[in-house]
Amino acid sequence: MASQKKADDTDHRHPAMIESHKRLDRMRDEIIRLDLERNVLELELYGYTIIENVKPLAFFDELRETILRLGEEDRAAGKRIPLSGPKGGSYLVTWLLARDRIFEEAVMAEKPLALITYLMGESCQISSNHGHVRCEGDPPQGMHVDAPMVPEPIPSASVASNMMWVTDDFSLESGATLVIPGSHKRLNNPAPGAIKQAIPMRAKKGSVAVFNGNLWHSAGARTMPGERVGMTVYFNRMYVRPQEDLNSVISDEVVARNPPRFAHLIGRNNPYPAKDFGFFNAKGASYFGRTTDPRG
Ligand SMILES: O=C(O)CCC(=O)C(=O)O
Ligand SMILES: [Fe+2]
């Protein structure tokens, strides 16, 4: 194990380095405990992987219904966020984690979170939690990486990565996310026309896809009636600004009813931006220390 000290006392590592090696050990132990070795290989080779049966189907039904209900609330309040221009039906439902308790359970689901941790280290945080409702007739989204504002070459240790919760079967016709396997190694933005090389991320309802933010991808066009509902939990490294400032809207009561990592994930431990430099959040500052691992 990386963190193990030698018995003969020849170990001169800095305490922060030992801590960072312990983080590697925890990551390895989790991947093995949860049987995710194949998924890690797929993340390396393809840039994405699909975990099936992450929760009972009833949980996915409830997620879907809740996203549609909140989307309806947005529409009634005149605040719905269209995804496909004024005539299109597709839309985004934002701030989910702050709007219903079911999303707390989703973001803490062990297997997808272990894979996100593998990609970005245990210090990563949630950037946003969105419902993506895609309707028949809208064009596919433009091919992109989930690293907005990051200049090329995009760092190979991804600054952001994503989970896609599959609350409707994903197929070409239903509007599955389109991906170009292996493109996460290119470390740049997709070239025009790249979509021709893409394949749909086929997945059964009840699955969660985890993908490297450097992967070239887009939402596909739905060509059948009805709505494709998917839910992203989008993560970023501690030094990246999140899309949603969840820390400022989630109460202490919600933090207290969740596992300790929840607080970190929503940004409670982040020392930045500082209100008062007399105070540094000790938990967050522990990640200032030296490490050999690009995850931090
Ligand atoms: O809805 C999808 O399938 C993908 C959405 C996406 O990649 C995004 O909004 O960044
Ligand atoms: Fe994306």
Does residue 22 lie within any of the structural domains? yes
CATH code of 123's domain: 2.60.120.620
Cα–Cα dist 112/276, whole Å: 35
Q: Given pLDDT bands bounded at 50, 70 and 90, which one contains residue 278?
A: low
Nearest to 53 by CA among 35, 33, 66, 69: 35
Q: Given pLDDT bands bounded at 50, 70 and 90, which one contains residue 282?
A: confident
pLDDT 10s digits, 214-256 = 999 999 999 999 999 999 999 999 999 999 999 999 999 999 9
pLDDT 10s digits, 71-99 = 999 999 999 999 987 778 999 999 999 99
The answer to whether residues 294 and 156 touch, using CB atoms and an 8 Å cutoff, is: yes
Q: Whose CA is nearest to atom 2 of ligand 1?
A: 219
Number of domains observed in the structure of the chain: 1
Does the pLDDT of residue 295 top 80, yes or no?
Answer: yes
Q: Which of 143, 162, 217, 244 to mutate to test the pocket of ligand 1 (most atoms within 8 A of CB)?
A: 217
Does residue 278 lie within any of the structural domains? no
Nearest to 121 by CA among 172, 159, 156, 178: 159
Q: Is 219 in the pocket of ligand 1 (CB under 6 A)?
A: yes
The answer to whether residues 42 and 36 touch, using CB atoms and an 8 Å cutoff, is: no
Does residue 57 lie within any of the structural domains? yes
Does residue 192 lie within any of the structural domains? yes
Does residue 198 lie within any of the structural domains? yes
How far is CA 158 from each of CA 15, 58, 119, 263, rounded to the nearest angstrom? 26, 33, 7, 22
Does residue 296 lie within any of the structural domains? no
Does residue 249 lie within any of the structural domains? no
Nearest to 111 by CA among 31, 196, 57, 197: 31
Ligand 1 center–CA 132 separation, angstroms: 7
Q: Sort strands 217-219 and 177-179 into parallel, antiparallel or unpaired.
A: antiparallel
| pTM score of the predicted model | 0.96
Q: What tokens appear for 292 in the block? A: 């050999």
Does residue 140 lie within any of the structural domains? yes
- Segments forming the whole domain that contains residue 208: 15-236
Does the pLDDT of residue 5 top 80, yes or no?
Answer: no
Strands (E), the chain: 48-51, 81-82, 91-93, 125-135, 160-166, 177-179, 199-200, 208-212, 217-219, 227-236
Q: Whose CA is nearest to atom 5 of ligand 1?
A: 219
Out of 169-173, 180-184, 285-289, which region has the weakest mean confidence (pLDDT)?
285-289
Q: Whose CA is nearest to atom 10 of ligand 1?
A: 146
